[in-house]
Structure 1
Amino acid sequence: MNLRPEVLEAIKQGPLKEVDPLQPTEIQALTIPEILKSEKQHILCAAETGSGKTLAYLLPIINKIKDQEMKAPSFPLISPTNNEEVEDQLKEKEKSQAQLLKSPIRLLNRPRAIVLLPSRELVEQVLSVSKHLSHFAKFRSIAITSHKNRQFVRKTLLMPTDLVVATPAGLLDYVENNHVSFSETRYLIIDEADTMFSKGFNEDVSSIIKQIKNSNITQNNRSYQIIVVTATLPKTVNELLSKELTFIKRITSHSLHKSLPNLSHNFIDLKQFNYNKYEAIIQTLKAHSESASTMIFCNKKIIAKQLETYLHTKNFPVIGLYGDVDDRTTKLESFRNQESHAKILVCTDIASRGVDTTFVNHVILFDFPTTIVDFLHRVGRTARAGKRGKATYFITKKDRQLAERIKRNIRDKRVLS
């Protein structure tokens, strides 16, 4: 794929250290060469959950950042003066700057690449992958969200910054207060695009796109690249992309919007439980291995809270993750580590987007979602990265029509439209 030696080493020694043989996933093989090929071709990368999209965009962007550094001129030599003391001071200053920045292309608080994500949990997750790679590829990435300690972030931005991973609102806050500048930003990645182009995020995302576009136009029409990443591609996203990014190149995996191949499905008509979901959930959990990690999805926060409380009374090792839960990151980490009190996660769709859940064996839809997009995101929390998984769906009267359509499409191996 024409990746630099240090980037290849970062893959081998970093997040894919345990993978043997080392080879790209379908979406990585399709996307990485296309991103590397051009400095101005905008790219849409659409693939099913758990297919390796994070590395599909991080690797080529890191590669481009390192290429820029290699092509950049060295720090200019300081012109001699007649004052030896002044000259020595200037040389010391030059040496200090070179040690700090390594290259004149690396500037303070001016990231060359930005990754946008909808939640602080996803920001921390992508930052973790990025830092794993940076040990070998030698670049610097930082996270910006509204919940980060402001003094710490401002201090961090006073050092060379290559890649910023951020939520849109958090990033704009620092831009508006002149702590971050887009003047050197050549690469913008918008991950979880089906969420990012929806109500609540779209205005901020559009503002960031516009500012980066204008920044590059004012610098002699300098080329820049926007990469849009998603696990589902609703009509609304397609329309917005056509409006915001004309001539974007669309790259989609063969399995997009199809049921994951290693996922087994269990549709439960609640009629057999007299529509008592609490009885159904107890029977379902008892029938499943107690050691298996399980996610239970609810449509509303109030239902998730009630279900978490109920399962506690039945002595299940359950924790909850929804909008106003304190310390969401710690709870997610407890579940990820499968601590004794956190084998089961009751959650809303806040946990259905992008979060690394390769360890999850079982997903239960306590409430059936109202759209195919939410269905795909929820069931995509298991059977990831080639592993097997199970999904159980509770079906009420109002869910039957959508559930039957999904069941038929899964059976016939068709796109879940």
Structure 2
Amino acid sequence: MDQRSSFPAFICLTMLRATLSTAGRACVRPLANKIALQRASRQLDFHHGQCLCLQFSFLVPARSYGTGSTRSSNQFTFSTKYPRQKKLGGIGKGKGKTAKTAKRKRAGKQTRIPGLALPPRLRLATFKHGQPKQAAAKKPPKPEVKSGGKIGERQATAVQVGRRTPGPRRRIETAQSKRAQLAKEEEAAKVARHTAKFALASTQYDTARPESLAVLKDRIRQSRFETMGLRPEIVKALTEGLGHVRPTEVQALCIPQALENPYNPILCAAETGSGKTLAYLVPVMNQLKQEEEDSALADKSQRESSVDIIEAITADGRTVSATSGLSSIRKIRRPRAVVIVPSRELVGQVTKIAKEISHIARLRVVGVHSAIPRHVSESMVATAPVDVLITTPGALIHLMESEGVSLSQTRHVVVDEADTMFDEGFGSELKKVLAPARAFASELKRPCQFVFVSATLPRTVVRILDRDFPNITRITTPSLHRTLPRLRQAFLRIDGSTTKQQMCLDVLKRAVVDDSRIIIFCNTRRSCGDLADFLRRKEYDAVDISSTVDVKERTKALARFAQAPSKGDEEGDHVGKPMIAVATDIASRGLDTTNVGHVILYDFPQTAIDYLHRVGRTARNGAKGRATSIIAKKDRKLAMMIEQAVKRKTVLT
């Protein structure tokens, strides 16, 4: 090939290379494929003979962009696996803009020309619009805010800050956030009300000096029943009948105060297992015997000159005269003293203790609750006068409305477990009992003593009593709101490696060596049933004593549970398997559980009051005991507070 013939070929080769290089680098055409390259080669097809012999494959070498691989000459430079971006709104809408392009345009950024979507590492070059720059637009003037309506103000504010009016999605998110914030506020208010309701009140011994406490404890140690001014038959019933040598702390403080002021209202608060039942029964029964003696001396001459009128005939055939002896103070369906307790089990327990005293003191004690048949309870109050009636609020209201029982002769009203009785469950029923007793005392112009007994002292109870009984005498012990000194307490936290039931089994395996009676507390009746079934499947002697169980079955289980362990239990089939009672808070209020050596809190209580009641089922009357709490994540805050108070030996709040 000579110089003349090679010159046109050189020009053709140079132009073709420039064209193909430009087509390879640019991303502006929608179809960068073999057809486009062939079209470009046809445009450069000259009529010179030497140019027609050029081959397309010889002029277009393969190139790699960032992948590190070598392609063959027939592969495309652009990858076709990335699809084109879809238009917004279909044909004729959005002018072919993509969602990403529209978003960038709103943000004031440059957009790229639509074409094949390549990842950044495969792009050849970046091309910008060739449009001339426009002058910056002036800011629009601030709109005038009209005085009428809040909508105009919101729109003006939105324009001023450069924001658009929120769309439907934005409004939904705002409403959801408002509802979430409102729910948080309601939950915080609920917690505050719960805390205020169950917060413990302060006592006179919380900030007392050690010297004064030492003097008080020394006086309590020197106290005896014989030096309190009790009647001989009452002292004999305590020492010989019950076997008590000296009074407990609460008895040494409460009994003398009640005897000195027999008709003033009294609030007696002491820790669980301290002997509060005798602290209020002894002065009440002592006062009843004193009233009988005073009435007998005053009416002696009148009884000798009067004619006897039979008022009633007892079950054993004895007649009760309306004018003889004690007829002025002892009448049919007119109890002289009423003791109100929250549960049926507590009715049986208090009645048993009162009858042991009445055997020597010669007083008639009757215990009535809703589980007793109606004809039986009617015969109890209608066949003979009742000196001490022990009942629940519901049963007493039934007797007053259906059986004609009246509180016109009642001189003593005792409310045991006052922190529970003033709760929402018993508050309305308790008012129906206290109101007529106070009304009769005011109309008949005779005194009536009201005694309120509790193991804890919530602020709500203190406010109610201060409002209804302004001159009430408050008697508390130095150990109030503190755990018992001989009680060992453990707090076990659940992690992801175990379950609550398995942790309860581990606690029982370690407890079987020393403890023969165990109480496990749950927060719900369903939880009690499930746990009792689970323990029985594991061959433990477990009984459910929640309110879902029949009354007769629960009474039998409690009677068997309250019995002291015997040799037969240790040598029987249940060696190493303690008798277990699974219960709700119904078993934490006032029940005598002296034989319980271990308390397990399967469900942690919701308040410090419930914690004190539950752990107070063991280590009673100076005995040793253990309490183990299983703590879930939601209970850690209250458990940490109680644990710190236990370690520091301070008052629980």
Partners in 2 of 1:197 and 1:260 — Cα distance?
25
- Where has structure 1 moved over 3 Å in runs of 4 or more? 95-102, 338-342
Q: Does 1:204 align with 2:429?
A: yes
Structure 1 contact 40–224 (Cα < 8 Å) conserved: yes
CA displacement 1:195-226 (0-9 Å, x = unmatched): 1000110111112111000011111x211110
CA displacement 1:248-275 (0-9 Å, x = unmatched): 111001000001001001111112x635
Q: Does 1:265 align with 2:489?
A: yes
> Residues 373-388 of structure 1: matches in 2 within 5 Å?
373-388=609-624
2:604 aligned partner:
368
Aligned residues: CA RMSD: 2.1
> Residues 8-407 of structure 1: matches in 2 within 5 Å?
8-15=235-242, 17=243, 19=244, 22-72=245-295, 73-74=299-300, 76-78=303-305, 96-97=319-320, 103-104=326-327, 105-157=329-381, 158-219=383-444, 221-271=445-495, 274-290=497-513, 291-326=515-550, 327=552, 328-337=554-563, 343-407=579-643
1:5 aligned partner:
232
**Unaligned residue ranges in structure 2 (runs of 5+):** 1-227
Partners in 2 of 1:97 and 1:309 — Cα distance?
53
Partners in 1 of 2:516 and 2:348 — Cα distance?
25
Q: Give the counterpart letter for 1:6 in structure 2.
A: E
CA separation of 1:309/1:102 partners in 2, compared to 1, >3 Å: closer, same or farther?
Answer: farther
Shift, 1:96, TM fit: 4.2
Q: What is the SS of the residue equivalent to 2:320?
A: helix
Shift, 1:127, TM fit: 0.3
CA displacement 1:77-132 (0-9 Å, x = unmatched): 3458xxxxxx9x99xx9x94359975222222211110000011001100000000
Structure 1 range deviating more: 328-337 or 97-106: 97-106
Q: Give the counterpart letter for 1:377 in structure 2.
A: H
Partners in 2 of 1:99 and 1:9 — Cα distance?
31
CA displacement 1:277-314 (0-9 Å, x = unmatched): 11101111011125521100111111111111111111
Q: What is the SS of the residue equivalent to 1:334?
A: helix
Partners in 2 of 1:79 and 1:382 — Cα distance?
57
Structure 1 contact 3–63 (Cα < 8 Å) conserved: yes
Q: Give the counterpart letter for 1:167 in structure 2.
A: T
Q: What is the SS of the residue equivalent to 2:303?
A: coil
1:84 aligned partner:
none
Partners in 2 of 1:66 and 1:335 — Cα distance?
35
Structure 1 contact 216–224 (Cα < 8 Å) conserved: yes
Structure 1 contact 27–253 (Cα < 8 Å) conserved: yes
Structure 1 contact 190–227 (Cα < 8 Å) conserved: yes
1:410 aligned partner:
646
Structure 1 contact 334–342 (Cα < 8 Å) conserved: no
TM-score normalised by the chain length of structure 1:
0.92
Q: Give the counterpart letter for 2:408 in structure 1.
A: S
Partners in 2 of 1:140 and 1:275 — Cα distance?
55
CA separation of 1:347/1:129 partners in 2, compared to 1, >3 Å: closer, same or farther?
Answer: same
Q: Give the counterpart letter for 2:304 in structure 1.
A: L
Partners in 1 of 2:559 and 2:497 — Cα distance?
36
Partners in 2 of 1:269 and 1:322 — Cα distance?
26
CA separation of 1:314/1:61 partners in 2, compared to 1, >3 Å: closer, same or farther?
Answer: same
CA separation of 1:69/1:144 partners in 2, compared to 1, >3 Å: closer, same or farther?
Answer: same
Shift, 1:243, TM fit: 2.2
Partners in 2 of 1:39 and 1:112 — Cα distance?
14
CA separation of 1:367/1:27 partners in 2, compared to 1, >3 Å: closer, same or farther?
Answer: same
Partners in 1 of 2:331 and 2:623 — Cα distance?
42
Partners in 2 of 1:79 and 1:314 — Cα distance?
72
Structure 1 contact 101–160 (Cα < 8 Å) conserved: no
Structure 2 contact 341–347 (Cα < 8 Å) conserved: yes
Of structures 1 and 2, the one scoring higher in RCO (CA 8 A, sep 6+) is 1
Partners in 2 of 1:257 and 1:304 — Cα distance?
27
Partners in 2 of 1:322 and 1:115 — Cα distance?
24
Shift, 1:242, TM fit: 1.6
**Unaligned residue ranges in structure 1 (runs of 5+):** 81-86
Shift, 1:236, TM fit: 1.4
Partners in 2 of 1:292 and 1:342 — Cα distance?
5
How many residues of Structure 1 are paired with residues of Structure 2 in the alignment?
Answer: 401
CA separation of 1:102/1:362 partners in 2, compared to 1, >3 Å: closer, same or farther?
Answer: farther
CA separation of 1:263/1:244 partners in 2, compared to 1, >3 Å: closer, same or farther?
Answer: same
Partners in 1 of 2:424 and 2:505 — Cα distance?
36
Structure 2 contact 332–385 (Cα < 8 Å) conserved: yes
Q: What is the SS of the residue equivalent to 1:76?
A: helix
2:158 aligned partner:
none
